[in-house]
Structure 1
């Protein structure tokens, strides 16, 4: 699934065990971990230190994938694949100014808070896909995959702007506060009727889109191989069960002017907060519509270079050379990945060492750097026995001794049958 043009193992047919052929989950953030908050120090002091550490460019992200159906079959020099997977992903920046405003308050603070730091997006979708992989010649494989996206749940709020300004009045008693240049937009689908969502309408959503994947694999010789892919060149058009809230304007607030009603003349109690709310609604109107919107999929780029070496190659057609024989039972490789989501740059550069044993057991260790800042040690294990292929991958092994120090965790599991 990472590369529709990879030099595949030429089975006649494969099928993934439904719900088990690929289970993937990843979550992390770029700055904080559990130990930052829960340690031997005072909790309130820890929170203050944590808030001081973050910046508006820091973010938290998650991604989850579950293969529901995955099959493939050969036809001459072509291998066809088809299937359905469910995916959810999201990313949100830390709005540092607003976190400070909420935690510390603005009493005695003569400063401006950036409302434009609000930046997030999340999507839940099902993906129906069909792909073709063709061996063009002895050295080159090309592949493409078409995808139909289906979604009933989506939220996003990006490219916002505005300032909340707070300053002491001349007397030093009252705070003069204002909101300026506010342009805040929130798009959502499926939130208003979330209690009516079921497994069925999450699997087959009410909004659809299209996407494409492309990939290749090229052998320079029987030891060197280059791979590359571009995934999720696509979009979803949300036009059912949508809601758009847009707030724009300016607002000046210099404190409540206390007035005492003349009860003898029949005056009623003055609703100060109701009047304040009316003023805010007048100066900062929120327009709510059911306008459709387009969600652009985060496009992913992968590139890899590998070198095979070691003992006698096993007679198989995985990572084949022109003679159908693998050159060595060991592989050194370098893999790069990049993606942009909600304006945040995701990347990883990973070096890997893989070795096969008895044409049955495949083990891998890796060392990489990514957007979550720390070096990442990972490992993978695969069993290829009879018709069964089983694999497990984990990362952040350097954090397993104290998982509370980890900013991110990822795991992957799969079970497939080959014929």
Structure 2
């Protein structure tokens, strides 16, 4: 188990500079918008991404706590700073890291109404709720929490590394409606998850009983599933660096598979006003190989050790009270290791937005509508979310999108989510003939002092995009 923690920690450290990417959503001249909404409107006829560099996305965040809360020099007492954080943070707060690298990206127009796109990308996604009660119990003990429950359901996390092979179609139904879908084949590299745990620990006062207190563990059922980990553990003397290298070597052909789909649409209500929506990663991963699962379960009650001190001669041994106590706990609370197959849902993402255009211009470069009206200023709002073990996480973003020239575009955005209510972002996309470069950064205020930031997100890419003359 310690190796799992070390591997995940290393990957977080490498990738930390919401998983949703509002700065690229509905950008009609970037192929990456098709990954967020396969039914979005686009104005190019083919594209080809620079391998491994057409999209690099890194994001990390935490609610309720920042690195500054622990590492600041305002108070030299680290224990007190940790205690202050633990008093403030709740079991609903969480930490997340997401990374996505587009290995291959390409697409082309098929007839007058369809656009095919496909490719390969590698993704890492880690999401963990703060285990409030177990953390307090481990850090502070139970002395100040008599007759209070410590709930093990606070332990909830998911982590996975996988490669995604995908193919999608964007289809123009008529001059108003565009729809699209994308099929995905998931190739699992590594997975660790522990959700739906149960059980409480409490210490109860027992006046008049055999001891002052009684300790109870009731209905404990904690399970950790892993795939892609057992083979790493079997390697004698494998270092963390070697473990990461082994995981990366599985990037193209993982040991477990899954299937998923994306669906989306765009509806132009009027020339100026449109609405759209999408869902991504409606799919399952089937973990059947390289498995190792750990389950801790049972119910236990004890009044502690009640030693007797009889007079012993030199040949007699004292009663092994601690051994007896340990045996009793081990009998009541069971630990089981298995290799059972399990299934996990991919984190379902959903988006809904509207957009209003001003500053009309005509650009004869959209295969969807011949000589369509193009507005130089686009104002929009996007609501997005990701389904997580304890419920969806949400974010709202308002943006201004400006087409400066046919080759230069930028977007400014303001958003609010569970990380921060002051999330300013910016995106710029520029074309040099057919070669496109884009850069997007969200939560720009946080970049002024990353230690105080609750989240950070960065995207960039290089690709060739071809439009009709």
Please give the TM-score of this superposition, normalised by the length of structure 2: 0.83
Q: Report how far residue 192 of structure 1 moved.
A: 2.3
Tell me, yes or no, if structure 1 residue 84 matches structure 2 residue 120: yes
1:298 to 328, 347, 353: 347
What is the rounded CA distance, in whole Å, between the counterparts of 2:316 and 2:365 in structure 1? 91
Tell which deviates more after alignment, 42-51 or 69-78.
42-51
Tell me, yes or no, if structure 1 residue 181 matches structure 2 residue 192: no
Q: Report how far residue 262 of structure 1 moved.
A: 7.5
Contact 2:364 2:370 in 1 (8 A): no
What is the rounded CA distance, in whole Å, between the counterparts of 2:185 and 2:67 in structure 1? 38
Could you list the runs of 5+ residues in structure 2 that have no partner in the other structure? 1-34, 233-237
Q: Report how far residue 218 of structure 1 moved.
A: 1.7
What is the rounded CA distance, in whole Å, between the counterparts of 1:190 and 1:292 in structure 2? 12
Aligned to 1:99: 135
2:90 to 33, 55, 67: 55
Aligned to 1:26: 59
Residues 274, 202 of structure 1: alpha-carbon distance in 2 compared, 3 angstrom cutoff: farther
Residues 66, 138 of structure 1: alpha-carbon distance in 2 compared, 3 angstrom cutoff: same
Residues 386, 362 of structure 1: alpha-carbon distance in 2 compared, 3 angstrom cutoff: same
Residue 205 of structure 1 aligns to a residue whose secondary structure is: coil
Q: Number of paired residues?
A: 416
1:315 to 342, 347, 363: 363
2:108 to 67, 73, 78: 73
Tell me, yes or no, if structure 1 residue 129 matches structure 2 residue 166: yes
Residue 328 of structure 1 aligns to a residue whose secondary structure is: strand
Tell me, yes or no, if structure 1 residue 190 matches structure 2 residue 237: no
Residue 40 of structure 1 aligns to a residue whose secondary structure is: coil
Tell which deviates more after alignment, 344-353 or 321-330.
321-330
Residue 271 of structure 2 aligns to a residue whose secondary structure is: coil
The RMSD of aligned alpha carbons is 2.2
Aligned to 1:9: 43
Contact 1:314 1:359 in 2 (8 A): no
Residue 163 of structure 2 aligns to a residue whose secondary structure is: strand
Residue 243 of structure 1 aligns to a residue whose secondary structure is: strand
Aligned to 1:282: 331
Contact 1:174 1:255 in 2 (8 A): no
What is the rounded CA distance, in whole Å, between the counterparts of 1:109 and 1:305 in structure 2? 50
Residue 31 of structure 1 aligns to a residue whose secondary structure is: coil
Residues 316, 322 of structure 1: alpha-carbon distance in 2 compared, 3 angstrom cutoff: closer
Please give the TM-score of this superposition, normalised by the length of structure 1: 0.93
Q: Which one has the bigger strand percentage? A: 1
What is the rounded CA distance, in whole Å, between the counterparts of 2:127 and 2:247 in structure 1? 24
Tell me, yes or no, if structure 1 residue 165 matches structure 2 residue 220: no
Tell me, yes or no, if structure 1 residue 220 matches structure 2 residue 255: no
Q: Report how far residue 108 of structure 1 moved.
A: 4.4
What is the rounded CA distance, in whole Å, between the counterparts of 1:28 and 1:392 in structure 2? 20
